[in-house]
Amino acid sequence: MDDSLNVPSLDTDSHHRDPAGANPAGPDSAEAGGWHRTALKVRYQETDKMAVVYHANYLNWFEIGRTEMIRSIGLSYREIEERGIYLPVLEARSRFIVPARYDDRIWIYTRIGAFSPLRLEYEYEIRRCEPEEAWSMDAAPFAENAGRPGTLLTTGATEHVWLSLDWKPVRLNKIAPDLYRRIARLAGEAQNSD
């Protein structure tokens, strides 16, 4: 079985975020290119004997972040998978700055870092809501340059590739142009980016 994932490099293929660039999104998508925030409380099961959150759990939280970001534009991974499209993780990176602890109130910030018909890259910040900060579990957008409440605990990024059910790379703009357009808009990319 050769089910290895041989796709062109992200660097040559996709539209990377230009940190200094203007937000190309139109007036009807004020949040395009910005951060999406969702929230959770640390579960007991997520701690380990160092009394902090076991590091692998941050990857779960990253996934919750991107799931809820996609949901904010009326999509769900469940529906995407029911249409026969998978979006597995190709690469993951995380940097652990301050450990999260049991019952901490956590905000997950997610944005799209790069986007192409073949791939999608997300960036994440995990932040802890401090006692003096107003807690909210509601999903919320944050403009790219706006301050993001919470103490920074972890940063990370994941790269994904669009696959068919039989685990072959597909071009999203070919097989699901509606999905492609909506995610492109969320990413803050011009729609003719490919």
For a copy of itself, the binding residues (CB under 8 A) are: 3-5, 43-45, 47-52, 54-57, 59-60, 63-64, 67, 76-78, 81, 86, 88-99, 101-103, 137, 167
CA dihedral 45, 46, 50, 51 (to 10 degrees): -70
Nearer to a copy of itself, 18 or 78 (CB): 78
**Closest distance to a copy of itself from the beta carbon of 29 (Å):** 24
Q: Are 163 and 88 in contact (CB under 8 A)?
A: yes
**Closest distance to a copy of itself from the beta carbon of 59 (Å):** 4
Nearer to a copy of itself, 55 or 182 (CB): 55
**Closest distance to a copy of itself from the beta carbon of 103 (Å):** 4
Q: Which residue has the tokens 């290895």?
A: 4
Q: Are 162 and 84 in contact (CB under 8 A)?
A: no
Nearer to a copy of itself, 153 or 187 (CB): 153
**Closest distance to a copy of itself from the beta carbon of 171 (Å):** 20
List the end-to-end C-alpha distance of the chain, in Å, as a whole number: 32
Handedness of CA 185, 151, 157, 85 (dihedral sign): negative
Nearer to a copy of itself, 93 or 174 (CB): 93
Q: Is 163 exposed, middle or buried (0-12, 13-18, 19+ CB in 10 A)?
A: buried
